[in-house]
Structure 1
Amino acid sequence: MSISFDKALGIHQHTVGVRAKRAETLASNIANANTPGYKAKDLDFDRALRAAKSGASISLSRTSERHISASTQLMGEQMYRVPTQPDTGDGNTVDAQLEKSLFMQNSLEYQASLDFLGSKFKNMSKALKGGE
């Protein structure tokens, strides 16, 4: 009998990747909080999760047989966030406090997904060993 990782791991295998991508986006916002003209971005978690679960991917075209074939899984698109504060005159829409709060919330949810995955692997390991 074969093990289906999709069934065994459930949605948590996808949430980890989406949360990691969102962490990159939020970290970029925090790093550019003082960059004139920078627009805050975010990821629509539900849309990105649906894209990750569907396994949608894009392949790069090869113009020479010597090129290495490559593809990447789609994780949803980054969108610009609607500003929550008035324009300060430099065109930057990053609210540093909001970004830090969202980053911390995302980090906690990322860790929860890792914990769930860890328990799933632990249970599968027990099942393979015959329990202890």
Structure 2
Amino acid sequence: MDLFSGTINTLQQSLNYASIKNQTIASNIANVDTPNYKSKEVVFKDVLQGELSNTLTAKRTNPRHLPFEHEQNLSYKIVQRNNTLYNHNGNNVDIDKEMAELAENQIYYQSLVDRINGKFNSLQTVIKGGR
């Protein structure tokens, strides 16, 4: 039985993703002047496509058996950007792009925090009997 219908778990995974993305962007910004540093990015879309293409089926041999569901662990990966060069020292960090991505990610993270707070406030209201 899933007590929260997966919403809390999904929000938690989304917060983890946004946190890793923030760390990656911060690392890129910190290394903006490091010679030969290649910027990194967090990729989710490619991993999602790979997981969706890997379908797993199971055969139920008895109707009393529990149905088998492949629970996909949709995650992300960090990849290095090698196809660009912005500075003469071999560094490819575009500070304007990184700052824009950081701002966007912070808004995304805050919206997730607001949503999970709303979920917990709803649960708290139910536990208190609607008061």
Tell me the TM-score normalized by structure 2: 0.71
Query: Residues 20, 6 of structure 1: CA spacing in aligned structure 2 closer, same or farther, 3 A cutoff?
Result: farther
Aligned residue pairs, count:
110
Aligned counterpart, 1:77: 77
Tell me, which stretches of 5 or more residues in structure 1 are unaligned? 57-74
Tell me, which stretches of 5 or more residues in structure 2 are unaligned? 52-70
Aligned-pair CA distance for 1:49: 7.7
RMSD between aligned alpha carbons? 2.6
Percent identity reads 28
Aligned counterpart, 1:39: 38
Query: Residues 25, 49 of structure 1: CA spacing in aligned structure 2 closer, same or farther, 3 A cutoff?
Result: farther
Q: What pairs with 1:1-132 in structure 2 (closer than 5 Å)? A: 4-5=3-4, 7-9=6-8, 11-46=10-45, 54-55=72-73, 75-81=75-81, 82-83=83-84, 86-132=85-131
Runs (4+) off by over 3 Å: 45-51, 53-56
Distance 1:48 1:113 in 2: 21
Deviating more after overlay: 38-47 vs 110-119: 38-47
Query: Residues 26, 49 of structure 1: CA spacing in aligned structure 2 closer, same or farther, 3 A cutoff?
Result: farther
Query: Residues 8, 79 of structure 1: CA spacing in aligned structure 2 closer, same or farther, 3 A cutoff?
Result: closer
Measured against aligned partners, the alpha-carbon deviations of 1:73-114 in whole angstroms (never above 9, x if no partner) come to xx522112343xx54321100000100110110001000000
Letter in 2 for 1:39: K
